[in-house]
Amino acid sequence: MQDVTIRRALLSVSDKTGLFELGAALARHGVELVSTGGTAKALREAGLEVRDISDLTGFPEMMDGRVKTLHPKVHGGLLAVRDNAEHVAAMEAHEIGAIDLVVVNLYPFAATVAKGADRDEIIENIDIGGPSMVRSAAKNHASVTILTDPADYARLIAEMDEKAGATSYDFRRLCAAKAYAATAEYDSMIAGWFANVDQGEAFPPRMAVPMRLGQSLRYGENPHQQAALYLPAFAGSDTLADHQQVQGKELSYNNLADADAALELVSEFRDGPPTVVIIKHANPCGVATGETLIEAYRAAFQCDTVSAFGGIIAVNRPLDGPTAEAITEIFTEVVCAPEADEAARAVFAKKKNLRLILTGPLPDPARPGMTMKSIAGGMLVQNRDNGRISRDDLKVVTKRAPTEQELADCLFAWTIAKHVRSNAIVYAKDGVTAGIGAGQMNRRDSSRIAAIRAREAAEAAGWSAPRTVGSAVASDAFFPFPDGLLAAAEAGATAVIQPGGSLGDDAVIAAADEAGLAMVFTGMRHFRH
């Protein structure tokens, strides 16, 4: 494929970034500029000679600008195959001139939705003529150059300067691919808005998920896997990737996954007392509240000092210097905080590899949203597990009702268990996790592992007894048999919180009564896979 000299360009943009520099460069190469409405006005104000689209088509813009470029003299000039004799004859017969370059960026649909505009304004920001021109130009990229992103203007200028006003086929092909991706993303945003927002349809018959490349990653979960981070095209998403990395090495695939898990969990306590979460392999290994952030950190760290090494930490308060000093006593991969004071930043600055992420206000844990998980040949989609319970939701099922302190410990442990991989068992006492058992194939083993962690923590700290003694234990799903519950009783737990609903509930309740345990049912399960 040969180079194509650009003689006529059609420009119609919503985003005027870089427009004047591009227009000046095109004029320097003797390119005729054809434009619409506000774009033509802006180019003229910059001192450039512009031909109105209505002059090209012989037809006025009408209907508040809804109809201006949907015309054979536009699309004929874009779609005609230049070396096809019949196409050339049709152009001559109908006085259609070739258009060699199209510069279009589309009406700001996503931004209009994000600012909370009413339905009429949103509908008016659905671009029709723009995508039509983009698709026509991209289809005929053998002869036409299409630009949809101001970031590409400089490259076009360099290309034309190098090739005496022409573009190469390779350049046009790349631009066409980007253009079709842009229109696909645009249409998917519109389809998603109609289905999810306008019609309230959570699971439409067809689902398009517009995503943009956020960054390429060094590798995936393992070095032999390639990976990248994609971001939602709609603005205003509560995503970890939207937050500010202040310092440290580039975030890896695993860093992002773990930091996301940490942020999700610590957000449960956004309105609570100072709270620290320590995550390892997407599971919490220690969570604690305290009077101060450093007190909470010390308590969370003591829960499992071995697993905390190389972990990810999230806090629900602005990070202070003393807490930062404590965190840097061991190797930590990532720290997430709403903000960090100057003292904390100075401490972390000495640890060049430590990644500090400032999240701003923590997201609402009850916010709506969807989660997606790929399976072979498909995608599982569900709404977020944003279910929460209060004391009023609990049903006491044992002879002994829990004390006020046991209730508080139950609710704290239950909140943590929601974020632990199933089967999940969490012991907690006085706003601190005592032991966490995650990801086991049966609930009894999770209970035993959590108790082992608690005993190891007590030995490391020199305590006379593990914190499971007098604790509450939470299970993310029901106990099908008494064995898991009895393992918790053996560890010293005095109160139990679980969903209930098993065929074996009566036997489990009887075992709890015999052991003197207080037990409450939530009626809600929190499996996590």
Which region holds residue 24: left if phi is over 0, alpha if psi is between -120 and 50, else beta? Answer: alpha
- pLDDT of 371-400, one tens digit each? 899 999 998 999 899 999 999 999 999 999
In a domain, 370, yes or no: no
User: For the chain, how long is the longest CA-to-CA vector?
Assistant: 98
Is residue 466 domain-shared with residue 346, that is, in the same domain?
no
302-309 own/partner pairs: CB under 8 Å, 24+ apart: 302/457, 302/460, 302/461, 303/278, 303/432, 303/433, 303/434, 303/435, 303/436, 303/453, 303/457, 304/278, 304/436, 304/453, 304/456, 304/457, 305/457, 305/460, 306/456, 307/278, 307/280, 308/278, 308/280
- Quote the CA–CA distance of 376 and 379 in Å, as a whole number: 8
CATH of the domain at 481: 3.40.140.20
Last residue of a domain, one of 198, 223, 255: 198
CA angle 194, 198, 204 (to 5 degrees): 50
Structural contact between residues 10 and 34, judged by C-beta atoms closer than 8 angstroms: yes
Is residue 189 domain-shared with residue 246, that is, in the same domain?
no
In a domain, 40, yes or no: yes
Which regions of the chain are under pLDDT 70? 59-62, 64-68, 198-201, 234-239, 241-242
In a domain, 139, yes or no: yes
pLDDT at 295: 98
In a domain, 213, yes or no: no
Q: Which residues contact 457 (CB under 8 A, 6 or more apart)?
A: 302, 303, 304, 305, 434, 435, 463, 466, 467
| CA distances for 259 relative to 240, 423, 517, angstroms | 8, 21, 36
**Tokens, residue 73:** 């003299």
3-state SS assignment for residue 242:
helix
pLDDT at 239: 61
β-pairing verdict for 32-35 and 8-13? parallel
**Tokens, residue 2:** 């040969």
In a domain, 493, yes or no: yes
DSSP 8-state symbol, 340:
B
Is residue 18 domain-shared with residue 129, that is, in the same domain?
yes
Give yes or no for a cis peptide into 383 (omega within 30° of 0): no
**Chain centroid to CA 201: how far?**
21
- Quote the CA–CA distance of 419 and 437 in Å, as a whole number: 12
pLDDT at 480: 94
In a domain, 446, yes or no: yes
Residues classed as catalytic: 139, 281
CATH of the domain at 50: 3.40.50.1380
Is residue 193 domain-shared with residue 254, that is, in the same domain?
no
- pLDDT of 393-433, one tens digit each? 999 999 999 999 999 999 999 999 999 999 999 999 999 99
| CA distances for 215 relative to 189, 486, 488, angstroms | 21, 49, 45
Is residue 118 domain-shared with residue 11, that is, in the same domain?
yes
Q: Which residues contact 10 (CB under 8 A, 6 or more apart)?
A: 34, 35, 53, 69, 74, 99, 101, 102, 103, 104, 133
Structural contact between residues 348 and 323, judged by C-beta atoms closer than 8 angstroms: no
Last residue of a domain, one of 170, 198, 226: 198
Instruction: Give the CA count within 13 Å in the CB-facing half-sphere of 334.
Output: 29
pLDDT at 287: 98
Structural contact between residues 226 and 214, judged by C-beta atoms closer than 8 angstroms: no
- pLDDT of 179-212, one tens digit each? 999 999 888 888 888 877 756 667 877 777 888 8
- Quote the CA–CA distance of 138 and 71 in Å, as a whole number: 17
Structural contact between residues 188 and 28, judged by C-beta atoms closer than 8 angstroms: no
Amino acid at 516: G
Is residue 284 domain-shared with residue 163, that is, in the same domain?
no
**Chain centroid to CA 440: how far?**
28
| Domain total of the chain | 3
Start-end of H helices in 53-195: 53-57, 72-79, 85-93, 109-114, 119-124, 129-139, 153-162, 169-192
**Tokens, residue 329:** 């006593």
Is residue 433 domain-shared with residue 503, that is, in the same domain?
yes
pLDDT at 67: 66
- Residues spanned by the domain of 433: 393-521
- Quote the CA–CA distance of 512 and 514 in Å, as a whole number: 5
pLDDT at 525: 95
Is residue 57 domain-shared with residue 184, that is, in the same domain?
yes
Backbone angles phi, psi at 125, to 5 degrees: -95, 20
In a domain, 500, yes or no: yes
Is residue 332 domain-shared with residue 402, that is, in the same domain?
no
pTM over cut 0.85: no
Which region holds residue 171: left if phi is over 0, alpha if psi is between -120 and 50, else beta? Answer: alpha
pLDDT at 112: 87
Rg (CA), the chain: 30
Is residue 89 domain-shared with residue 169, that is, in the same domain?
yes
Is residue 407 domain-shared with residue 506, that is, in the same domain?
yes
pLDDT at 406: 98
pLDDT at 178: 93
Amino acid at 265: L
Is residue 167 domain-shared with residue 262, that is, in the same domain?
no
